[in-house]
Chain A
């Protein structure tokens, strides 16, 4: 398959007690966006979330993997303190600095049936790399 045709996507992968989140895309930024959608999908069906509220997020880290960890942990924090779920994301990364907007809405327990809270992103299975076909992979395990 020609990687130029890969549309960005996300998936979950197995971990004994918890769950792995993975984003795959042709750019690092889109891969980070997809990993974040995978995170939402741990809690609820992202299709059930509306993008009515925008939250700005900034983080900085010495390498891509630390940046992914910070990005996911910042989203976990914003969801917790603002009582939100996020549907989609716009990420820009420049020289180790991430600037993003997360779009979502307030948690509605009837509508979203949130299954579980995420405690934090972990170093376990934390990898950010570019495959030979050009696609970026950004993944880690989240503790729930």
Chain B
């Protein structure tokens, strides 16, 4: 990307002044090299987002921004319903409420080492993963309704998990305002056998070790010490979310003219927040958020069962659970006024700072844990939300590394089996039903997550707390 198109505000803040149809400026947070390496499409997409009705302050792109669908992946935008604001299915994406959950194990690496293979086998046996995998739960009409309304709370009521889990999940495990009646029969059909499945692509379950601590005080509150073993789960709302995204994207694109919205790109399909279609999407999308929260809760239960086979006496408690494809009603200050805004985060993590009322008391002084997943074989990071993040990006940070190379390029360059052997030589066990899938997810096919996280830290979007290294990766 040509950086002469930007006004440089500081080392990590680059602004595109409002011009043409843009209603607000666009701002990208990244260091100079990351910005230069970004696709020009990010520029086009973030300026398009800035042209949508009712957008406030600015359209933001996170340091991991890349070419997405309408919105760039790594895009953040807030809309004011009182100014004709919109909700966009493309601004949330297909995998609604895809996110990361991290669990403490209470183990350290010395304790894990002799049992690594056994644990990998148990996890791979217990957690359904990959194309065509089905869960052991079959939802009927009533249980589907309960799940869509109740999220992780519903899962808990079915015996999956512990009450203490809920306060460490965004929305306390249950997204309010879900309207199952707007979830189509097809979306339900696609989901009824998929609860408690990881999916494929970049989704995974990983056993990780704490390799580096950057902030001892916050890490202590988060319960992280060097050489501790944690488990992270990365997945979303499965077929249900994909189907809702597919259906509303089309409905919104076809009704844009009716709502007199000039779309610079059909993929930016949106509807006024106050319109029937906007309300239907919000109701369905919130139900899909609950589906993702329930899914991660069930996978947590399966993980606990698998771990108990190898380590019968340990307890897996939650560090936190974040979602990175959402639109949520939040209160933010704009021009010294407290406003209720619909914040879209497409491939961006909510990152509330200290004292935020929605955080549980344990994180009052630290801010929210921000969980950033790496790719297979590379580091993941734990960060914490900041007060300045509220001013910079409506309390949002990056979500991962982003691909550097397409899937077909990756399969030309690597073979799955060779990668598995190379990672094994580095002490990382991979379990996957598809060697081609492994090749497509080769670590070097992704950008360096460390550079992305450093940029987010320097920009003040979130602060680095700890770095995690993979030990076992169950891959879709």
Given A117-B131, A119-B242, residue A17 in contact with residue B409 (CB < 8 A): no
**Taking the complex as formed, is B339 at the interface, i.e. its CB lies under 8 A from any CB of chain A?**
no
Say yes or no: B132 contacts A109, CB within 8 Å: yes
**Cα distance, A109 to B73, chains bound together (Å):** 30
Determine whether A122 belongs to the interface, using a CB cutoff of 8 Å to chain B.
yes
Residue A56 interfacial (CB < 8 Å): no
Interface residue? A80 (CB, 8 A): yes
Complex interface: chain B residues within 8 A of A15 (CB):
67, 406
B436 and A119 contacting across the interface, CB-CB below 8 Å: no
Task: Tell whether, in the assembled complex, residue B67 and residue A77 are in contact, meaning their CB atoms are under 8 Å apart.
Answer: no
Give residues 429-444 of B contacting A (CB, 8 Å).
Answer: 433-437, 439-440
- Set of chain A residues within 8 Å of B355, measured between Cβ atoms: none
Q: Are A17 and B408 in contact (CB under 8 A)?
A: no
> Is A134 close to B, CB under 8 A?
no
Q: What distance in Å separates the Cβ of B39 from its nearest Cβ neighbour in chain A?
A: 6
Interface residues of B in 208-246 (CB under 8 A from A): 239, 242-243, 245-246
Contacting pair B131 A107 (CB below 8 A): yes
Measured CA separation A122–B406 after assembly (Å): 17
**Least distance between A124 CB and chain B CB atoms (Å):** 5
- Flag whether A69 is at the interface (Cβ < 8 A): yes
CA–CA, A15 to B437, complex, Å?
17
A120 & B266 in contact (Cβ 8 Å cutoff): no
Q: Contact between B265 and A117 (Cβ–Cβ < 8 Å)?
A: no
B84 neighbours in A (Cβ, 8 Å) = none
A90 at the A/B interface (Cβ < 8 Å)? no
Report whether A14 and B409 are in contact in the complex, using a CB–CB cutoff of 8 Å: yes
Which residues 105-144 of A sit at the B interface, judged by CB distance below 8 A?
A: 107, 109, 113-117, 119-124, 126, 141, 143-144
A73 to B131, CA, bound (A): 17
* B249 close to chain A: CB less than 8 A: yes
* Max chain B C-beta neighbours (<10 A), residue from A42, A120, A126: A120
Q: Is B69 within 8 A of A123, CB to CB? A: yes
- Tell whether A97 is near chain B: CB-to-CB under 8 Å: no
B206 at the interface (CB under 8 A from A): no
Q: Which residues of A contact B239 (CB under 8 A)?
A: 80
Interface residue tally on B, bucketed by range: 35 or more
CB atoms of B199 and A117 under 8 A apart? yes
Shortest beta-carbon distance, A21 to chain B, in Å? 11
Q: A15-B406, A144-B201 are in contact. Are A120 and B94 (CB under 8 A)?
A: yes
Alpha-carbon gap, A143 to B68, bound state (A): 9
Checking B73, B245, B267, B476 against A119 with a beta-carbon cut-off of 8 angstroms, the contacting residue is B245
**For the complex, is A66 an interface residue (Cβ under 8 Å from B)?**
yes
Interface 1/0s, chain B 36-76, versus A by CB < 8 A? 00010100000000000000000000000011111001000
B39, B93, B249: which contacts A123 (Cβ < 8 A)? B249
Task: Find chain B residues with CB under 8 A from A93 CB.
Answer: none
Contact B69 A116, beta carbon cutoff 8 Å: no
Asked if A14 and B253 sit within 8 Å, CB to CB, the answer is no
> Quick check: A109 and B131 within 8 Å, CB to CB?
yes
Taking a contact as CB atoms under 8 Å apart, the answer to whether B69 and A124 are in contact is yes
Q: Least Cβ distance of A32 to chain B in Å? A: 17
Provide the A67-111 mask, 1 if CB < 8 A to any CB of B, else 0: 001100100110011010000000000000000000000010100
* Contact yes or no, A122 B69, CB < 8 A: yes
Q: Which residue of A lies closest to B190 (CB)?
A: A80
Pick from A113, A123, A124, A126: contact of B434, CB below 8 A. A113
**What's the least CB distance linking B127 to chain A, in Å?**
15
Q: Which residues of B contact A113 (CB under 8 A)?
A: 433-437
How far is the CB of B26 from the nearest CB of chain A, in Å?
A: 19
Q: Which chain A residue has the least Cβ–Cβ distance from B242?
A: A119
Asked whether B407 is an interface residue with its Cβ less than 8 Å from the other chain, the reply is yes
Please tell me if the beta carbons of B94 and A16 are within 8 angstroms of each other in the complex: no
**Contact bitstring B400-434, A, C-beta under 8 A = 1, else 0:** 00110011110100000000000000000000011
- Give A81's nearest chain B residue, CB to CB: B189
Is B200 among interface residues, defined by CB-CB distance under 8 A?
yes
Chain B neighbourhood of A44, CB < 8 A? 436
What is the 8 Å Cβ interface bit string for chain A, positions 1-26, against chain B (1 contact, 0 not)? Answer: 00000000000101111110000000
Let me know if B331 is at the binding interface, CB within 8 A: no
**A14 proximity list for chain B (CB < 8 A):** 406, 408-409
- Is the pair A124, B201 in contact by a Cβ cutoff of 8 Å? no
CB–CB A19/B406 < 8 A: yes
**Are A109 and B190 in touch, CB under 8 angstroms?**
no
Instruction: Give the shortest distance, in Å, between A126 (CB) and chain B (any CB).
Output: 8
How far, in whole Å, are A38 and B300 apart by their CA atoms in the complex? Answer: 36
- Assess whether B436 is in contact with A115, with CB atoms less than 8 Å apart: yes
Q: Is B165 an interface residue (CB 8 A)?
A: no
Q: How far is the CB of A15 from chain B (nearest CB, A)?
A: 7
A-B contact pairs, 29 of them (CB 8 A): A12-B408, A16-B406, A17-B402, A62-B254, A76-B246, A107-B131, A109-B433, A113-B433, A113-B437, A114-B130, A114-B200, A115-B131, A115-B407, A115-B440, A116-B131, A117-B476, A119-B95, A119-B246, A120-B242, A120-B245, A120-B249, A122-B69, A123-B70, A123-B253, A123-B266, A123-B267, A126-B266, A141-B69, A143-B95
Binding site for A on B (CB under 8 A): 39, 41, 66-70, 73, 93-95, 130-132, 134, 186, 189-190, 199-201, 239, 242-243, 245-246, 249-250, 253-254, 265-267, 269, 402-403, 406-409, 411, 433-437, 439-440, 476
Q: Apart from A14-B409, A115-B411, what are 15 other A-B pairs with CB-CB below 8 Å?
A: A16-B41, A16-B403, A17-B402, A66-B250, A76-B242, A83-B134, A107-B131, A109-B132, A113-B433, A113-B435, A116-B407, A117-B131, A119-B246, A122-B69, A144-B201
